[in-house]
């Protein structure tokens, strides 16, 4: 009974072998368990991916989005120790936590170990994951940095993007201050990736400044590439052209009026929300190599929490 509430029960230590990982890859390691004062009936050991996620009301909380069982039932005798090796697959939509080898400010993501012992559940500490960008994602980030857009921070937000298939009901935003040449008309540029085994969606959001005769607001754009195509895309040119189109357009065309990302707490829908005004669409044709501009997110408030994908 005492072991069931954590007194005299086995200690648990999870060790990750890799210092860095990438979306769609895996991490290996081992769970070291033992040292109980008496016999312990281990029912299950799970590894859980956990991210700190921001909701629509600017509150933050831990979201468990993938569970992987590394051991079933077994018995540990008193003072006995056991080591359980594992290989943990990582989803393609795994948020990035490091750039150029440095932690990405604002990100909290890791692996939590959960041990079921004698009908009780003991949740251990979270081991942080060092997630570097994919080779197809890195050039997009480097393009913004090389344009002089300083990195601001990053977070993970609860919600889905319209017109983009997602496995999980959240997405990461990597925030940059505007490049110097666009600082007069744009406050920030936010970057979101949605990766899959065969392709990558790159979503950009520009926070436009309001002027004397123009309203501010958010401009959104999306480009879809295979991982191979992304490696050979001139991202600096694509992003500069898109930001130029954004800075010269009226706020209404790009969907002004949103001070914060709207969320769709239901389904992702069949396409981009909001209409592209025909008169201005021609001026932006071809910008960002087929990038579609317009509202991508509905302004609905968060509803019930979605099931894991």
pLDDT tens string, the chain, 309 residues long: the values are: 334 444 577 899 999 998 899 999 999 999 999 998 889 999 999 999 999 999 877 789 999 999 999 999 999 999 999 999 999 999 999 999 999 889 999 999 999 999 998 767 776 778 999 999 999 999 999 999 999 999 999 999 999 998 899 999 999 999 999 999 998 889 999 999 999 999 999 999 998 765 444 455 788 999 999 999 999 999 999 999 999 998 887 543 333 323 334 434 332 322 222 222 222 232 233 333 333 333 333 333 334 444 444
Neighbours of 247 (CB within 10 A): 18
Q: What is the pLDDT of residue 303?
A: 41
Q: In this structure, are residues 207 and 187 in contact, taking their beta carbons and an 8 Å threshold?
A: yes
pLDDT at site 266: 32
pLDDT at position 288: 34
pLDDT at residue 250, as a whole number: 54
Q: What domains sit in the chain, N to C, each tagged with a CATH number?
A: 11-128 (2.60.40.640), 137-249 (no CATH)
d(CA 2, CA 40): 11
pTM of the predicted model over 0.85: no
């Amino acid at each position: 009974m005492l072991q069931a509430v954590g007194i005299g029960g086995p200690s648990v230590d999870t060790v990750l072998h890799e210092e860095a990982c990438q979306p769609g890859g895996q991490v290996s390691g081992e769970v070291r368990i033992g040292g109980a004062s008496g016999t312990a009936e281990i029912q299950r050991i799970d590894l859980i991916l956990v991210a700190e996620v921001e909701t629509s009301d600017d509150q933050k909380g831990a979201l468990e989005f993938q569970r992987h069982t590394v051991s079933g039932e077994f018995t540990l005798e008193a003072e006995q120790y056991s080591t359980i090796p594992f290989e943990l697959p990582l989803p393609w939509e795994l948020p990035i936590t490091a750039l150029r080898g440095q932690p990405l400010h604002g990100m909290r993501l890791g692996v939590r170990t959960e041990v079921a012992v004698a009908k009780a559940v003991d949740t251990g500490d979270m081991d942080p994951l060092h997630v570097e960008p994919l080779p197809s994602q890195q050039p997009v980030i480097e393009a913004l940095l090389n344009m002089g857009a300083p990195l601001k921070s990053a977070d993970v937000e609860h919600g889905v993007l319209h017109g983009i298939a997602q496995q999980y009901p959240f997405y990461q935003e990597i925030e940059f201050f505007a490049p110097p040449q666009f600082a007069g008309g744009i406050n920030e540029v936010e970057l979101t990736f949605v990766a899959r085994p065969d392709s990558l969606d790159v979503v950009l959001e520009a926070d436009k400044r309001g002027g004397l005769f123009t309203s501010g607001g958010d401009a959104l754009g999306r480009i879809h590439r295979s991982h191979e195509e992304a490696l050979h895309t001139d991202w600096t040119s694509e992003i500069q052209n898109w930001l130029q189109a954004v800075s010269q357009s009226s706020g209404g065309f790009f969907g002004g009026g949103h001070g914060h990302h709207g969320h769709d707490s239901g389904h992702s829908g069949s396409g981009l929300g909001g209409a592209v005004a025909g008169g201005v669409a021609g001026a932006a044709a071809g910008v960002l190599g087929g990038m579609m501009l317009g509202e991508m997110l509905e302004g609905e408030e968060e509803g019930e929490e979605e099931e894991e994908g």
